[in-house]
Amino acid sequence: MHLADTLIVAAYLATLVGIGIYVSGRQKTTDSYFVAGRTVPGWAAGLSLLATIVTSITFIAFPGAAYSGNWSLLVPNLLFVAVILALGSIIVPFFRHAVSMSVYEYFGNRFGTAVRMYSSFAFAAGHFAKMGFVFYLLALAVSGFTGWPVAMLIVGLGVTTVFYTFIGGLRAVIWTDVVQGFLIWTGIVVTLVLLLLPAHSRPGAMFHLIAANHKTSLGSFRIDLAQPTFWTLALYGLFYYLQKYTADQTVVQRYLAARSDDSALHGIQLGAVLCLPVWAAFMLIGSLLWAFYHLSGQGLPPLVTRPDQVFPYYMVTQMPAGVAGLFLAGLFGAAMSMLASDLNCLGLILVEDFYSHFFPRHTDAQRLRFGKLAVVVCGGLAISVALRLVSTRGSALALYYAAAAIVAGGLAGLFLLAFLSPRAGRTAALAGIAVNLVFTAYATLTLDGGKILNLHNYNYPWNEYTIGAIGNLLLLAAGLLYAALFPVPSSLASTGTLWGWLAKRKRPSLRAVQLGDIL
């Protein structure tokens, strides 16, 4: 790494800290700390969504996948845009009126405290596992092409992220995300220019070679759930992003932070639309790198043994001084945006879903202090997990990550049950959760020929991408079946359902009401 690259990274990290310090004086209440006082412009909420969804793994994994194969990894992300364009006009304003700060408040209103705490815990377990893993993978990747110590990178990035999140709250998270969004686009444009415009490049030959070898293919269109075909990945993407938009605090928090319903909807749609070209651009970079190294005669050295190492190697060997630093800053920022968002969300749900329940007699100042403490503690634990992964290379925590994957699933199915069925109550939801947990545990533990638990002929037969989709469908089916077979609880109201929401918005239809009665 050149000195100019290091200085750019340092300046970027200083900018993030500066933003946190600048907005820290406004964090006087839990509302300002966790939902930015509900004053964020829609476009800023959209750019924040972009920076939260496009993680540091995207920077490495997408070019690596396109380099070694095709663009099939892009398929799930096509559903990201499709889901919000199809459901956004209902989902976004619904949540802005149904909950105060925590999306899991909605599950509590529909199904009771136990379901609320389960859904909140499921989100926390999945995202906490992801935080430590992202810290570890990012530090490992950066260390590989800079020579900087892995532990130093984990601690440095972790402390910086925790600091500006702690002092600045969601307002700092969103405005640092805005900076990150512009940095991502700058890095992508500069990289594509460097790949295509130098005198020694042959863009026509590169694109011809890419097309001839089907490097932009979206995969096989065979219906085979045992393989990562187009339909398998599309099914995964549908339920993954349905869960993102309806049961993921990091996304719903952007709805709540916007100034108005229209501002929130337009901002979230903007963020979703911007994500797709970013993902496609990283895929294009991977394909162009494959063509570049095939046509230029420049071989890769023996130390580059994996496809996800090619783009970092290109950055440090082909990019001018300063440009690699720009992209490295973007790589750091992508990880830190996601981690800062997760930290703020974990602080919020610990306050809203647990602290407020167990300590009902509290002041807002006490809630704010507890929330800030939760941010620091969760950040410290995530750093510790990442450092543990360095010493064990992941083996010591493999079972924990499997357990986190089991409990973190099913929230999209739970939302569909709550939103679509006025007949479903607490027991129906608990029955669906139980069925989902049993299935997901079986599938996760017996996957890939039984790596964790080998049941031989009874191992899960399909691709891992199908587990979440089937788990959500089973939860929904079990809940609907229970609701159909047993009497409707007298305490249930339809106000928390789609049908109640349509009636409230004074846009009911006979067809909608009849379907709601059936469900």
pLDDT at 396: 45
Q: Would you say residue 404 lies in a domain?
A: no
Do 374 and 452 share a domain, yes or no? no
- pTM of the predicted protein model: 0.88
Do 440 and 363 share a domain, yes or no? no
The total of other beta-carbon atoms located within 10 Å of residue 142's CB is 23
Considering its fold, how many domains does the chain have in total?
2
Domain boundary among the residues 369, 394, 419 is at 394
Cα distances (Å, whole numbers) of residue 513 to 201, 262, 426, 491: 62, 26, 22, 19
Do 122 and 237 share a domain, yes or no? yes
Q: Would you say residue 321 lies in a domain?
A: yes
Q: Would you say residue 399 lies in a domain?
A: no
pLDDT at 334: 81
pLDDT at 28: 85
pLDDT at 409: 80
Helices 310-318 and 56-68 cross at an angle (nearest 10°) of: 100
pLDDT at 143: 79
Domain boundary among the residues 342, 361, 394 is at 394
Q: Residue 40: beta bridge partners?
A: 258
Residue numbers of the chain with a pLDDT score lower than 70? 1, 145, 199-200, 392-407, 489-494, 506-519
Tens digits of residue pLDDT in 502-517: 887 765 444 544 545 5
Do 64 and 145 share a domain, yes or no? yes
* Residue 480: domain span: 409-519
What type of residue is 355?
Answer: Y
Tens digits of residue pLDDT in 239-267: 988 999 999 999 999 999 999 999 999 99
pLDDT at 25: 78
Task: Tell me the two tokens of residue 177.
Answer: 């995300």
Do 416 and 352 share a domain, yes or no? no
